[in-house]
Structure 1
Amino acid sequence: MADKVQTTLLFLAVGEFSVGILGNAFIGLVNCMDWVKKRKIASIDLILTSLAISRICLLCVILLDCFILVLYPDVYATGKEMRIIDFFWTLTNHLSIWFATCLSIYYFFRIANFFHPLFLWMKWRIDRVISWILLGCVVLSVFISLPATENLNADFRFCVKAKRKTNLTWSCRVNKTQHASTKLFLNLATLLPFCVCLMSFFLLILSLRRHIRRMQLSATGCRDPSTEAHVRALKAVISFLLLFIAYYLSFLVATSSYFMPETELAVIFGESIALIYPSSHSFILILGNNKLRHASLKVIWKVMSILKGRKFQQHKQIGRETMLF
Structure 2
Amino acid sequence: MRVPRIIAIALTGAAVLAPVAACSSSEPTAPGKIPQAAPATPAPTVEARPAHPFTGMPYSGEPGPVLTAKIENTAAGKPQMGLRSADIIYVTQVEGGLTRLMAVFSSKLPKKIGPVRSARISDLHIMAQYGKPAFSYSGVQTKMIPFVQQASLIDVSDSSAPGAYFREPGRYAPYNLFATPDKLLDNASKAAKAKDIGFVFGDAPEGGTPKKSFSVRYPAARFTFGWSEKQKRWLVWQDGKKDVAAEGGQQGAPTIVVQYATTTRSQFHDVNDSYTPLIQTVGKGRAVVLRDGKAYEARWSRKSEKSGTEFTSEAGEPMPFAPGQVWVVLAAPKPVQP
State TM-score, norm by structure 1: 0.22
Q: TM-score, normalised by structure 2?
A: 0.21
Which gives a bigger RCO, structure 1 or 2 (Cα 8 Å, sep 6+)? 1
Structure in which a larger fraction of residues adopt helix: 1
- Structure with bigger strand share is 2
